[in-house]
Amino acid sequence: MDRPDPETLAWIAAAVALLALLLAAVAWRRLRVLDRQVRRLVAAGAPTTPEADRLTAVEEETVRLRAELSQALRHVAVVRYDAFGDMGGRLSFSAALLDDAGDGMVVSSIHARGESRTYAKGIVDGGSDVVLTPEERQALDAARTGEAG
């Protein structure tokens, strides 16, 4: 069986990252709803026994969702640039997608006149075993700090 080429792997990685981002958004929204429900229950005063059981279940679910959310690729930054001097329009880009622990990936797409290449580099604990370009480093730093790149 032939191994997929790097561009195909990069597209697959980008699709997985997008799916993870969507799942993180759904989990975040669900967490907000649960937080509101817990606040309403606490504000209502002393709960009865069945309400206390529901409150405990909601609190446990909130803790579980927060743990899941910390593993979602939700820290994202994109840096656009011109990879070649003869090209304009800043069509090349590097995008960093990280979870709360600093794990994730940097995806770069280099656009030239006749072709476009896409690369993905894994990130663990905010760093990479592979050398990052200045643009990839800028995207990674922006994703970690939450500041625009």
Which pLDDT value is given to residue 97?
93
Q: Which amino acid is at 109?
A: S
Tell me whether strands 116-123 and 104-111 are parallel, antiparallel or unpaired: antiparallel
The pLDDT-based confidence of 5 (bands split at 50, 70, 90) is confident
State the Cα–Cα distance between residues 146 and 144, nearest whole angstrom: 6
Q: Which residues make Cβ contacts (< 8 Å) with residue 78, sequence separation at least 6? A: 93, 94, 95, 96, 139, 149
Q: Which two tokens stand for residue 66?
A: 């927060």
Q: What is this structure's pTM?
A: 0.57
| pLDDT exceeds cutoff 80 at 45 | no
| pLDDT exceeds cutoff 70 at 149 | no
Tell me whether strands 75-81 and 116-123 are parallel, antiparallel or unpaired: unpaired
The per-residue DSSP string of 63-117 comes to HHHHHHHHTS--EEEEEEE-SSTT--S--EEEEEEE-TTS-EEEEEEEE-SS-EE
- Does 133 or 115 have the greater pLDDT score? 133
Mean pLDDT over 66-74 rounds to: 83
Centre a 10 Å sphere on the Cβ of residue 28 and count the other Cβ atoms it contains. Answer: 15
The pLDDT-based confidence of 121 (bands split at 50, 70, 90) is very high
- Does 25 or 88 have the greater pLDDT score? 25
| pLDDT exceeds cutoff 70 at 21 | yes
Q: Which two tokens stand for residue 114?
A: 């006749």
Which pLDDT value is given to residue 48?
53
Residue 113 burial (CB < 10 Å; 0-12/13-18/19+)? exposed
